[in-house]
Structure 1
């Protein structure tokens, strides 16, 4: 049984009210009372506080009926901004969104170093710049969330990043010392799964998201929460061994899944077959369109190893939804069909398997909404960012 004092109950009610206002894209006080079950007096007091804090705005809804038009409460999306950062080997993606998760500015910076101090200085410089752009809003930057392609502990300490060879780095504390802003550090696969849950699969309580770029990571959403494990290290599924005594991996093992089913491994194989070390996704698309037999052989082998790992993942977690985050699979229309054809075990059960629409933006999108959820202190965040709403959002700066 959950108990708490008046302040705790007020905080829970506040979070419920905010989540329902966001979920309904604006709602009247009367309807808010109906769907939350809170009495009108509680709604009135909470809404008054939120209006004073500039987190809500009021507007009138157009309707054809006679009588007074209802006043609609909406989240003040420009009251503050979230900054998401995807820190990967070779590049950093920055994404700034408003409080409803609408992108305001995205920027990709190429990295020429893996040195921790140099990257720390680069991140600090860019965060300061974004902070200055948002200083006219009521809350400015409400949080910076950094997605790391490696193992992050429950205390947000970077335990190990194989691609950068970082060990035991406290990026959160180091950034907060340099810049007066709240910083969160999280595994990139967890943030990718969070983006899928918040933006696309609001009703899925058992969602798995598998990132497949420089390595393979698994983000798990259970009942709306990220499943992290005891120390925070859960989800390092890329280091599941699928080929005994196979290719050596930077983690120290041999035959890890990501050595065969990550996009980075595909590009290594592609370089050997074609003698092209600078090939990109446009080249792959051209080879696929031309029905190049070597390219189709590479894709089939890639799908084979994806399927081997997926079979293990499905048997471990019995997911409702599995989302594969891979630019390469998005180029190949038959990818999901061919993967499903290899998942033939009678004891493997899942409801839906698909390729993510978010691509490389998934991590920073998840980072931004993770920051928003923590700032608003709500238990469940459901957003719907459509092309029409994006077009109507307008310029911010």
Structure 2
């Protein structure tokens, strides 16, 4: 992982909250200095204090104080002198102490189970756990989430810096789930609920937004133009354009699952009928192919892929996107569905070049949301971006 991009825990559009001072307080300055130093060390070669001073533009005295503070916090460690023969006292190198802290990560996207993992600061998955959703909604589903988080906290083998959560639904910049129909949540402050129960910082974001950050950070995506389509209990998209995560004024950017695509009276969890999600969400796809032979299954998945492609086409056209990544069960998506969606996008758009829009499966497999949840915590707690 080369960098962590996160919007969770930061103020939308850079606006200051009412009453917030424009002055940079001493605590903010120290936090900024720590972030600058960690940015130069995270997933990079070890560096000396002098190297860090040159790279950050901070004074050597300031860098020395910051490094000593990070060592005290067990975020950084000294690993000895720089190799090679040099005149004078050899510089002592420092690096991030990746195994000294853990991150708890949760994915709430699956229609049947809630998944989670304990990760190191370097993004290594150390242990996993899951709980069956058992059709629970509302407060009962929240209780399942907290139970899973608590179980993972008990599995951690080092101090925990925070809990990251990727959830379906509309989530604002403060981690409030405005609407998640499949889980029965509306205006739920999931961030506060987790923090209160476990007394740890929590970062909650939309699962598709979380997955697209992970694909850019850990996978094969390019933040200049990348769209991640999450197909699970619901259908949503995360979009990176010109290096920025598109959130929308109300956090609803990427809610493609509730675009009406048919006049058929097929109910959607949002309360309407004929939405894309009512046709291509994972439970619906499984129902469409249940009991069908191979040829009929291929035909149904082709039709479903075309339905998705019809919604994706104007988005890729309008934003100039060429890389669209699908995240979901490969046995359903990686075949006729994927081919049909890609063909539909390219036959109904003109990108004014010889470069086609490419649809592909995520390079991260099932763990994309978990990695993205880690990215949110690292961004919020350590300022890694």
> How far did 1:32 drift?
2.9
Once the two structures are superposed, the pairs formed by residues 130-279 of structure 1 within 5 Å of their partners are 130-134=152-156, 137=158, 140-201=159-220, 204-222=223-241, 224-245=243-264, 247-271=266-290, 273-274=292-293
Contact 2:104 2:153 in 1 (8 A): no
Task: Name the counterpart of 2:10.
Answer: none
3-state SS of the aligned residue for 1:200? coil
In the alignment, is residue 87 of structure 1 matched against residue 108 of structure 2?
yes
Moved more, 98-107 or 260-269: 260-269
How high is the TM-score relative to the length of structure 1? 0.79
In the alignment, is residue 106 of structure 1 matched against residue 128 of structure 2?
yes
Task: Name the counterpart of 1:118.
Answer: 140
3-state SS of the aligned residue for 1:209? strand
Cα RMSD (Å): 3.1
Q: Distance in 2 between matches of 1:146 and 1:336?
A: 27
1:164-218 deviation digits (Å, cap 9, x = unpaired): 2333333332333332122222211111112112212575233321101222111
Q: Distance in 2 between matches of 1:4 and 1:219?
A: 34
Q: Distance in 1 between matches of 2:90 and 2:276?
A: 59
Task: Name the counterpart of 2:19.
Answer: none
Alignment CA distance shift 1:302-1:122 (3 Å):
closer
Alignment CA distance shift 1:176-1:167 (3 Å):
same
Alignment CA distance shift 1:112-1:330 (3 Å):
closer
Alignment CA distance shift 1:248-1:34 (3 Å):
same
Q: Distance in 1 between matches of 2:302 and 2:125?
A: 36
> How far did 1:6 drift?
6.6
Contact 2:131 2:144 in 1 (8 A): no
Contact 1:221 1:227 in 2 (8 A): yes
Q: Distance in 2 between matches of 1:334 and 1:113?
A: 30
Contact 2:118 2:155 in 1 (8 A): no
Aligned to 1:32, which of 41, 52, 76?
52
- For structure 2, the residue ranges without an aligned partner over 5 or more in a row are 1-21
In the alignment, is residue 48 of structure 1 matched against residue 54 of structure 2?
no
> How far did 1:320 drift?
5.6
Alignment CA distance shift 1:102-1:151 (3 Å):
same
Task: Name the counterpart of 1:393.
Answer: none
Task: Name the counterpart of 1:11.
Answer: 31
Alignment CA distance shift 1:198-1:45 (3 Å):
same
How high is the TM-score relative to the length of structure 2? 0.81
3-state SS of the aligned residue for 1:97? strand
1:81-135 deviation digits (Å, cap 9, x = unpaired): 111111243211011111121111111221224143333333333333333444x
> How far did 1:377 drift?
2.1
> How far did 1:66 drift?
6.3
Alignment CA distance shift 1:333-1:317 (3 Å):
same
Once the two structures are superposed, the pairs formed by residues 239-388 of structure 1 within 5 Å of their partners are 239-245=258-264, 247-271=266-290, 273-274=292-293, 292-319=294-321, 321-328=323-330, 332=334, 339-342=341-344, 343-344=346-347, 345-347=349-351, 353-378=359-384, 380=385
In the alignment, is residue 77 of structure 1 matched against residue 83 of structure 2?
no
